[in-house]
């Protein structure tokens, strides 16, 4: 079975602009799962959110939208809107570990409550005209929570299950628990997708070698530190160090131009671009002083000057 590569959802990063730009410049992904929609009910939908939900928001890379609501009526109504826009699948987030979600009972907060997961699905599934998939973690605090939730999922018509094998309490610390993923795989009758810490060929092969029935593997942070990764995994072609720097420069340039056209004012633009530097810095290795300058920039000229200088340094280091 060929394993598909999917862009993982990263809130604030992998929106339509990023998905489209990455697909145009690098390619390698078969599709993406979008970050969860911030609206939890149709009445909260704003025009910018609707724009993001359009398949045309990233025409070069098909995506599945994700919802995080716990209200079956809201989920079903949002799913209807997504179906009308041409989506074939909608994903339910049972994975988000952030207190902003869990304090409201959303995301990973549902994992210790399998009966609520069951009631939600039993209310929503009969109303769905498109497939429903689930993205989850091992548990909120206890990795054993997965067992009861998996039992609920196993007996319902779920399109696929995406599992990031950490608890929410772990956030991103430690390593993904592949043994627990293996145990889940034996109990999951639905197509299973792996998500977590795929950052290079070795980590990709460790997972795909061990779990040969995987339908897809997701890559999130790994593609932000190495945008060539999905293409490299597909073709075996490894970019040179200078192609790598040029690639990240081109990605930054295109993202900057597109967000400048989309966002209102320099503060929003600089804030958005700073989110990318959390990851780009690993590949570009800016001098700490220059990174600080970039981080503190309030005016676009200062930000652009710092970026120029950081990439000049990176190219100069290559000789
Ligand atoms: C900043 C950040 C935002 C994320 N946002 C989402 C999200 O909106 N929906 C979701 O299901 N997962 C989200 N995730 C989890 C990722 O999709 C992924 O499962 C996790 O980062 C592990 O995969 P990775 O090591 O390939 O990044 C987020 C992760 C990070 C670090």
Last residue of a domain, one of 235, 258, 284: 235
Answer yes or no: is pLDDT of 1 > 70.
no
DSSP state of 158: -
Same domain (yes/no): 203, 259? no
Between strands 63-67 and 89-94, the pairing is parallel
Mapping DSSP to helix (H, G, I), strand (E, B) and coil, where does residue 212 land? coil
Is pLDDT above 90 for 315? Answer: yes
User: Same domain for 217 and 279?
Assistant: no
Atom of ligand 1 nearest to the CA of 36: 8
pLDDT for res 2: 83
Q: Which of 215, 235, 255 is the last residue of a domain?
A: 235
The pick from 97, 175, 195 for probing ligand 1's pocket by mutation, whose C-beta has the most ligand atoms within 8 angstroms, reads 195
CA separation for the pair 186, 265 (Å, rounded): 51
CA-9 nearest atom, ligand 1: 17
Tell me the pLDDT tens digit for each residue of 127-163.
Answer: 999 999 999 999 999 999 999 999 999 999 999 999 9
Please name the residues in contact with 69: beta carbons below 8 A apart, sequence gap of 6 or more: 40, 41, 75, 78, 106
Are residues 194 and 266 part of one domain?
Answer: no
Average pLDDT over residues 161-178: 98
- CA of residue 233 to ligand 1 center, whole Å: 20
Q: Could you tell me if 222 and 307 lie in one domain?
A: no
User: In percent, how much of the chain has pLDDT > 90?
Assistant: 99
pTM of the model: 0.97
Residues with CB under 6 A from ligand 1: 8-11, 35-36, 66, 93, 95-96, 135, 164, 195-198, 219-222
Our mutation pick for probing the ligand 1 site, out of 18, 67, 109, 221, counting the most ligand atoms within 8 A of Cβ, is: 221
State how far the Cα of 188 lies from the Cα of 154, in Å rounded to an integer: 6
Compute the distance from residue 8 Cα to the ligand 1 centre, in Å: 6
Residue nearest to atom 2 of ligand 1 (CA): 10
201/259 same-domain check: no
Do 285 and 178 belong together in one domain? no
My answer on whether 104 and 126 are in the same domain is yes
Could you tell me the residue range of the domain that residue 259 belongs to?
241-318
So what's the pLDDT on residue 319? 81
Mean pLDDT over residues 46-63, rounded?
Answer: 96
If one counts every other C-beta atom within 10 angstroms of the C-beta of residue 134, the result is 22
Q: Kindly report, residue by residue over 231-280, the tens digit of the pLDDT.
A: 999 999 999 999 999 999 999 999 999 999 999 999 999 999 999 999 99
Residue whose C-alpha is closest to residue 232's, from 280, 266, 199: 199
Same domain assignment for residues 230 and 181? yes
Band of pLDDT at residue 88, cut at 50, 70 and 90 = very high
Residues 64, 151, single domain; the answer is yes
140 contact partners, CB below 8 Å, separation of at least 6: 102, 108, 109, 111, 112, 167, 168, 169
List the CATH number of the domain containing 61: 3.20.20.70
Whole-Å CA distances, 239 to 6, 247, 259: 21, 9, 27
Tell me whether residue 253 is exposed, middle or buried, using C-beta atoms within 10 angstroms of its C-beta: 0 to 12, 13 to 18, 19 or more. Answer: middle
> How far, in Å, is the centroid of ligand 1 from the Cα of 10?
5
| Domains held by the chain: number | 2
Mean pLDDT in residue range 159-170? 98
> 143: closest CA among 92, 193, 114, 177?
177
**Given the structure tokens 């795929």, which residue do they identify?**
198
Q: Are residues 84 and 152 in the same domain?
A: yes
Q: Whose CA is nearest to atom 7 of ligand 1?
A: 35
* In a shared domain, residues 228 and 252: no
Assess whether 231 and 248 both reside in one domain: no
Domain termination site, one of 214, 235, 256: 235
**CA 300 centroid distance within chain:** 28
């Amino acid at each position: 079975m060929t394993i598909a590569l999917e862009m993982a959802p990263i809130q604030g990063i992998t929106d339509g602009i990023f998905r489209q730009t990455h697909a145009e410049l690098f390619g390698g992904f078969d599709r993406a799962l979008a970050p969860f929609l911030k609206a939890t009910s149709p009445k909260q939908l704003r025009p910018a959110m609707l724009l993001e939900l359009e398949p045309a928001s990233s025409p070069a890379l098909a995506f599945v939208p994700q919802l995080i609501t716990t209200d079956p009526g809201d989920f079903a109504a949002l799913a209807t809107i997504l179906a009308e826009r041409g989506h074939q699948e909608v994903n339910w987030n049972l994975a988000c570990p952030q207190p902003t979600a869990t304090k409201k009972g959303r995301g990973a907060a549902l994992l210790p409550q399998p009966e609520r997961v069951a009631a939600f699905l039993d209310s929503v599934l009969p109303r769905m005209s498109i497939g429903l998939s689930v993205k989850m973690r091992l548990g909120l605090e206890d990795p054993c929570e997965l067992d009861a939730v998996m039992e609920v999922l196993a007996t319902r018509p779920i399109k696929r299950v995406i599992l990031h094998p950490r608890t929410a309490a772990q956030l991103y610390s430690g390593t993904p628990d592949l043994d627990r993923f293996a145990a889940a795989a034996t109990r999951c009758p639905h197509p299973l997708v792996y998500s977590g810490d795929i950052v290079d060929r070795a980590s990709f092969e460790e997972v795909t070698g061990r779990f040969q029935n995987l339908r897809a593997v997701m890559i999130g942070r790994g593609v932000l530190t190495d945008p060539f990764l999905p293409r490299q995994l597909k073709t075996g072609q490894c970019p040179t160090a200078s192609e790598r720097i040029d690639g990240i420069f081109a990605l930054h340039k295109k993202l900057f131009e597109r967000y400048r056209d989309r966002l209102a004012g320099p503060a929003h633009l600089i804030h958005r671009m700073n989110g990318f530097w959390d990851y780009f810095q690993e590949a570009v290795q800016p001098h700490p002083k220059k990174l600080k300058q970039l981080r503190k920039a309030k005016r676009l000229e200062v930000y652009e000057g710092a970026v120029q200088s950081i990439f000049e340094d990176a190219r100069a280091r290559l000789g």
